[in-house]
Chains A and B, each alone.
Chain A
Amino acid sequence: MTQPITVRIGDTVRHGEVIDLPATANPTVLRDAIREGNSEPVSIDCERPQPVHDHVGYIHTEMGIRTQTALARAGRSRELTTASDDEIATLDAEITELDAELAAQGHHSAVEHRVEIAENRRERAELREAVEAARGRLQACREHSLDTEGAVEALEAAITELSERETATAAAAEQLDHARETNRTRRDLREKRLRLEDRRANLKRDARASLVDQLNEEFSAAVDAVPGSTATDPFDAPPVVTALAVARIADLDAPVVLDCDRFDSPGAASDWLDTPILYV
């Protein structure tokens, strides 16, 4: 069920199911070109890779692999299902809905109100001092039987300014209250979303375990069948062996970039994996 692929590197074009490339070809560039369709100067015409391709898209001796996740995704590439799938799909839909609700609500930043309130308070303290000082001057004028007209005016002006500032502070505090109220509703939604996400993460863990369980025997057999494999515990095999076994089990749409010498020929590797390969 392998599909021919087309690889263009500069002016060179190769077409087929097994493409043997010179050692000068950069395997990570090839892998990226498979994922993104194009990675200058390489372009590859092939099916879109599935999630399992992240784990086995480039197989080489220095690689690492998360066996359980890779194996579970291999199961998904074969459309295996688990008892958790329906609930995960329901949660996906609910989370999408909540996101839409959150986006529609918009985020009312309270930063401006906080800045305004903090500034108002500082100014208010200064204005209060100014009122006290003006009052002191008026008192002094009276005590010395001096003309009080100027001092009275100065005191009145200071009091007016203070009262304006207090009004502004009260208004800003009210706006901040309002913003806090809105944000509380928003946080209720976010809290709900977080609960759903946690639930979904647990279900995904269950699903992963179930997929691994379903493929357990097949995976052990595949690890045993890897040329040169000496692993006794299939979950403790060298990453390259694990990756080959996972790729063999998976139903891959996109080609695998292979850089290892476990097979007699690129064709033998492609047959064993049952998938198109780019051999470097």
Chain B
Amino acid sequence: MLLVITYSRSARESLRNICRAHEESIVRQFGRAALFEATEFGAFQALRLREKHDDAVQVERTRPFNEFGAVPAAVREAATEYENRDEPAIPYAIFASGTDHPSKAQMQESELRSPGSVGDP
């Protein structure tokens, strides 16, 4: 899908107008952002917005998130086990210390495995 984010009042207004007029091509709208369908028509609307409002419009292409491909098992397990912990008040750092769970810093430094690199057409 195409994630379209607006950064000015006029761009936000244009986005709302497009969402109203082309409901069938809009997957989801949130305030000043929206998800357009990944069709040429969705791209057409996104490009129109960028043409009109220049850098007050950001367009990103999303891809489905498959945690089994993109995320190491240790991270998935840590998430599951932390959410099912016995003591709700325990911070993750303490929960993870002395275990095989990755630390917050380790996870922050590790980029997700990606099927392509930045700028994938």
Q: Does A130 contact B (CB under 8 A)?
A: no
Given known A190-B8, A197-B9, contact A177–B54 (CB-CB < 8 A):
no
Task: Tell me, in angstroms, the Cα distance from A190 to B8 when the chains sit together.
Answer: 7
Q: Are A173 and B117 in contact (CB under 8 A)?
A: yes
Any B CB within 8 A of the CB of A121: yes
B7 and A117 within 8 A (CB): no
With a CB–CB cut-off of 8 A, which chain B residues contact A183? 55, 58
Residues of B within 8 A of A280 (CB): none
Q: Which residue of A lies closest to B50 (CB)?
A: A111
Which residues of chain A come closer than 8 Å to B119, judged between CB atoms?
113-114, 117, 172-173, 176-177
Chain B residues positioned under 8 Å from A198 (CB to CB) = 9
Chain A residues with CB under 8 A of B16: none
Of B56, B118, B121, which is within 8 A of A190 by CB?
A: B56
Mask: chain A, 150-172; 1 = CB below 8 Å from B; 0 = not = 00000000000000000000001
Q: Closest Cβ of chain A: how far from B53's Cβ, in Å? A: 11
Over the window 164-197 of chain A, the binary record of Cβ atoms lying under 8 Å from chain B Cβ atoms (1 yes, 0 no) is: 0000000011001100100100110011011001
Interchain nearest-CB distance for A217 vs B (Å): 34
The number of chain A residues touching the other chain, given as a range, is 20 to 34
- Look across to chain B and name the residue whose beta carbon is closest to the beta carbon of A183: B55
Given contacts A117-B121, A180-B118, contact A107 B7 (CB under 8 A): no
Contact assessment for B8 and A186 in the assembled complex, using a CB-CB cutoff below 8 Å: no
Mask: chain B, 90-121; 1 = CB below 8 Å from A; 0 = not? 00000000000000000000000000011101
Residues 79 to 121 of chain A near chain B (Cβ within 8 Å) = 107, 109, 113-114, 117-118, 121
Q: Is the CB of A187 within 8 A of B118?
A: no
Is the beta-carbon distance between A190 and B7 smaller than 8 angstroms? Answer: yes
Mark interface residues in B65-81 (1 if CB within 8 Å of A CB, else 0): 00000000000000000
- Are A187 and B58 also in contact (CB < 8 A) when A113-B119, A114-B119, A194-B32 are? yes
Bound CA–CA A121/B120 (angstroms): 9
Q: List 19 A-B contacts (CB under 8 A).
A: A107-B54, A107-B55, A113-B119, A117-B121, A118-B121, A173-B118, A173-B119, A176-B119, A177-B119, A183-B55, A183-B58, A186-B55, A187-B7, A187-B58, A190-B7, A190-B55, A193-B7, A197-B8, A197-B9
Interface residues of A (CB under 8 A from B): 107, 109, 113-114, 117-118, 121, 172-173, 176-177, 180, 183, 186-187, 190-191, 193-194, 197-198, 201
